[in-house]
Amino acid sequence: MQTIVVALGERSYPIHIGNALLAQPELLLSHLVRPRVAIVSNQCVAALYLKKFTTTLESVGIRVVPIILPDGERHKNLDTLNLIFGALLADRCDRKTTLVALGGGVVGDLAGFAAATYQRGIPFAQVPTTLLAQVDSSVGGKTGVNHPLGKNMIGAFYQPQVVIIDTDALATLPAKEFSAGLAEVVKYGLIRDLPFLEWLEQRMDALMARDPAALEEAIARSCANKAEIVTQDEREAGLRALLNFGHTFGHAIEAAMGYGTWLHGEAVAAGMVLAARLSERLGYLDRSAVQRVITLLKRAGLPVEAPAISVDRFIALMAVDKKVDSGKITFVLLRHPGNAFVAGDVPDLLLREVLAGRTATHA
């Protein structure tokens, strides 16, 4: 097992990464105020892992309250959030009950937001079961729900007590969702870690084959990158914005197509290609660097072309993104692979040309 610490003073917490961790109750027990947890999961993940995890916890005297949600990004909304509140109230859960997210990014974001707001805040733990959640959404304290006009527009920063990443859970992950998680892994190499990017280029075939050693290394290096960034900029005042590489475009794709039609990682992958092309048009990247991004994403089984969205629709959706500053859309761009920066004054004509070149011109 590898352990990485997110260093936030009194709110610091460990990220444990390894196999068979769902069978090690002490990893969670040591962080509980009292031996009682409410486990939030979805129908798919619960069928695979909830009984096993519950048995593990009950073996050391922890009482478990299960809360099962419908599966899918389309359910990441206030109505589903209210299901969590209703279950907590019905079981008379108090402020010393720990809320545990067992599932992917949707479950983690919903459970985290519920923990941040139920009785004005209760303890929270992340047990992510998808690659995307393991390398990205479970770490850093971002929680929230979607609104029809924008992704994650309602939420809170709320850090977990512990993150427990059991790599065995990836064995049951569908290929499409596995590839979606690799988009966030590739992102870390592109924005700040050139040696990791080169490692990914060498080991992508092993990752696609779900080689255990390669997977654990990729997850650990991704979490280490995110932990370093969150430690320096917890609430996205500067450095943490780099983690949004590809996301301004990607969130617009998700909203335009209907949440869940494109997986988050798929939309981010297409968004990273658009960001790379915009970087090229602005004179930062050369054509070979853009092709390098495209080649690696293709090897990861990810889309590299945005869907058919009109340019005006694309820009309108990006204009309601959280990263808009004083009415201007901000983008994370690349100076070169391994070096990203935030740009807040991209010429509208160049943006339109990039969008027109890679998407259809009809709604």
Domains delineated in the chain = 2-172 (3.40.50.1970), 175-358 (1.20.1090.10)
287 catalytic per annotation: no
266 catalytic per annotation: no
76 catalytic per annotation: no
Please identify which of the residues 251, 277, 281, 323 carries the catalytic annotation: 251
Mean per-residue pLDDT of the chain: 94
236 catalytic per annotation: yes
92 catalytic per annotation: no
With cut-offs at 50, 70 and 90, classify the pLDDT of residue 344. confident
The angle subtended at Cα 69 by Cα 68 and Cα 72, nearest 5°, is 140
pLDDT score, position 361? 36
Nearest-angstrom CA–CA distance, 16 and 333 = 31
201 catalytic per annotation: no
> Does pLDDT of 360 surpass 50?
no
Please identify which of the residues 244, 254, 277, 281 carries the catalytic annotation: 244
Please identify which of the residues 36, 142, 281, 323 carries the catalytic annotation: 142
pLDDT score, position 259? 87
Please identify which of the residues 226, 277, 281, 323 carries the catalytic annotation: 226
Please identify which of the residues 151, 240, 277, 323 carries the catalytic annotation: 240
Please identify which of the residues 16, 36, 192, 247 carries the catalytic annotation: 247
251 catalytic per annotation: yes
> Does pLDDT of 311 surpass 50?
yes
pLDDT in tens, 77-118: 999 999 999 999 999 999 999 999 999 999 999 999 999 999
pLDDT in tens, 11-62: 999 999 999 999 999 999 999 999 999 999 999 999 999 999 999 999 999 9
pLDDT score, position 152? 87
Please identify which of the residues 73, 177, 184, 266 carries the catalytic annotation: 184
31 catalytic per annotation: no
What type of residue is 225? Answer: N
With cut-offs at 50, 70 and 90, classify the pLDDT of residue 363. very low
With cut-offs at 50, 70 and 90, classify the pLDDT of residue 265. very high
